[in-house]
Amino acid sequence: MKKLLLLSLLFSFHAQAQDITGVLGAFPPELVLLQSKMENKQDTVIAQVRFTKGILNGRPVVLAQTGIGKVNAAITTILMIEHFKPREIVFSGIAGGIDPALLPGDIVVGTQITYHDFGAVEDGGMHYWATKNPSTMKENPVTFDCDPALVQKAVSVSNGLALAKINRETGSVAPAVRKGIIVTGDVFVSSGIVTTRLRKELNAAATEMEGAAIAQTCYQQNVPFLIIRSISDNANHKAKDDMMTFYEIAAQNAATLVMAVVGAK
């Protein structure tokens, strides 16, 4: 009986889903390139959130700015799902690099998304909890899997993609695109101690402030999702200065990959 109910719910969503991709970003620089490339734009304001429908890279999309932080991200995501019924949601944005191999301008295609600030702080450190679906009171997974087909699509279209290069001491370097775990919390991480802990405990590649809230919302509503982040800093003591230096290029690289994903068959 439970299996039949689950199948019924899944069928209900897919029957209602529209042939449109939802695209989200947290703040204006993450969306400026995407907005500039959209055609036939039409704005709708719902609960003070502006949604823009149009064509991006030959495909119908609805785009919105979530605002920074988990609550803002969840609100915008559920409004988008409820009113536009996208077949999938893709997030484009910047992040702090946790994997020491990542440098500003590099991209992380999220494979799993999890909170790094949900749980209990104990003498021995952080104990991570699973969230619960308030409708069923069943536990969600501690980590949310990005849609495998979207992950594979992102990796495939990244091959040969013209991404903005970063000027480094060794010269101009083409950004790397890697798959990895992205962690989310309502804090801007600028601590080497914290990054070491997040790498050790969660195997995190990058840290940001919206992804897990979007992932949880999509998971509970049976909407496929993908989080794409480009590195603006290394989440260490230089994070604030580095972010101000690299956020525009990082945002551009993430958006460039998102456009390619949206337009791919």
Q: Label residues 162-192 b or e (16+ Cβ within 10 Å = b).
A: ebbebeeeeeeeebebbbbbbbbbeebbbee
Q: How far apart are CA 174 and CA 177, in angstroms?
A: 10
- For residue 9, give the 3-state DSSP assignment: helix
| 86-97 vs 225-233, strand pairing mode | parallel
> Can you say whether the dihedral through the CA atoms of 173, 154, 201, 233 is positive or negative?
positive
CB distance 205 to 102 below 8 Å = yes
> Can you say whether the dihedral through the CA atoms of 264, 224, 18, 24 is positive or negative?
negative
Please identify which of the residues 88, 99, 233, 242 carries the catalytic annotation. Answer: 233
Tell the residue number behind the tokens 């295609």, with chain if given. Answer: 109
CB distance 215 to 66 below 8 Å = no
Virtual torsion, Cα 167, 198, 71, 263, nearest 10 deg: 50
Determine the residue type at 154: A
Q: How far apart are CA 81 and CA 225, in angstroms?
A: 12
Instruction: Identify whether 145 is a catalytic site residue.
Output: no
Instruction: Identify whether 233 is a catalytic site residue.
Output: yes
Q: How far apart are CA 35 and CA 80, in angstroms?
A: 17
> Can you say whether the dihedral through the CA atoms of 32, 263, 155, 72 is positive or negative?
positive
Please identify which of the residues 30, 99, 210, 242 carries the catalytic annotation. Answer: 30
Q: Which residues are catalytic?
A: 30, 233
